[in-house]
Amino acid sequence: MTESDPYVELIAREAKRAVAVDAMAVERVMARIREEPLPVRRPARWGWLVAPRSLPLSPLVGTALAAGLIGIGAFFGHYIDRGGRNRTGGPEAFADTNSPRSPSSDSVRVIKFVLIAPHAATVAVVGDFNNWDAQATPMTRTPTGGTWSVALKLPAGRHVYAFVVNGANGTSQWVADPTAPLAPEDGLGAPNSVVLVGGSAS
């Protein structure tokens, strides 16, 4: 902020003032917290990826993940069918809602998110399932080009998500999945998409 911005300084100074908070607000939070089970410490994020012995893959889960890989092939076929439209447009995203149900739980399915963003430096998927954390779920670029993907196990239900596309020049853009239904306008200028796990999003 510079001295030539008196109005900016004024607004910032006023906005910094403490707000009056309902004295019972913290109690209301704690009342809700006490209904929850105790949190349990978990291993560091992605730790299971770099520690082979910790991979808890049962044969059934392995089957589910393998089926997800088949989904990649299906996706590529879809991509080729669509021809140049995808190549000339912006990033193209797909949430494969047809992945088989993970046998570890009837209410969890493996969902494959795929985005075509040839010029991106990094891409991540964000949504209500990862607390909209752009660092939580990075996508992996295919060796051959600009297709990014990640498979997630998601509980049944409606999930709102978007892709965060980071350019090499430091730009960052939230993009919706053009092949999925859009979530209602979020008022933040960043479009989101909807995937319905265990059914079709509509």
Partner 1 sequence: MSDDAADVQRVLSGDVDAYAKLVDRYYDRCARFAIRMLGNRDDAEDALQSTFLRAYRALGRYQERDRFSAWLYRILVNQCRSLAARRSHRERVFVREEALLLNAPDKRPAWSGEDEEFVQRVLNELDPLLREAFLLKYVEELSYEEMAALTGAGVSALKMRVKRACDKLRERWERIRDD
Among the listed residues 48, 61, 132, 138, the single contact to partner 1 using CB under 8 A: 132
Cα 73 to Cα 75: distance, rounded to the nearest angstrom: 5
Contacts of 150 (CB under 8 A, 6+ apart): 112, 113, 125, 137, 138, 139, 140
Query: Per rule CB under 8 A, is residue 50 in the interface with partner 1?
Result: no
From candidates 93, 152, 164, 180, binder to partner 1 by CB under 8 A: 164
> Which of 55, 97, 61, 122 lies closest to 193, judged by CA?
97
Question: Is position 169 an interface residue for partner 1 (rule: CB under 8 A)?
Answer: yes
Out of 17, 73, 83, 88, the only residue in the binding site for partner 1 (CB under 8 A) is 17
Q: Applying CB under 8 A, which of residues 67, 190, 196, 201 lies at the interface with partner 1? A: 190
Query: Dihedral, CA atoms, 84, 85, 90, 95, nearest 10 degrees?
Result: -110
For CA atoms 182, 45, 152, 83, give the dihedral sign. Answer: positive
Establish if 150 lies at the interface with partner 1 (CB under 8 A): no
Nearer to partner 1, 30 or 50 (CB): 30
**Are the CB atoms for 91 and 115 separated by under 8 Å?**
yes
Q: Which stretch binds partner 1 (CB under 8 A): 50-58, 79-87, 104-112, 167-175?
A: 167-175
63 binds partner 1 (CB under 8 A): no
**To the nearest whole angstrom, how small is the minimum distance from the Cβ of residue 144 to partner 1?**
26
For the CB of residue 93, give the shortest distance to partner 1 in the complex, in Å. Answer: 16
Could you give the count of Cα atoms lying within 13 Å of 188 in the half-sphere of its Cβ?
9
Distances (CA, A) of 99 to 49, 60, 65, 131, 162: 21, 14, 9, 23, 19
Query: What residues line the site for partner 1 (CB under 8 A)?
Result: 1, 5-8, 10-19, 21-22, 25-26, 28-30, 32-34, 36, 38-42, 44-45, 124, 126, 128, 131-135, 160, 164, 166-167, 169-174, 183-190, 192
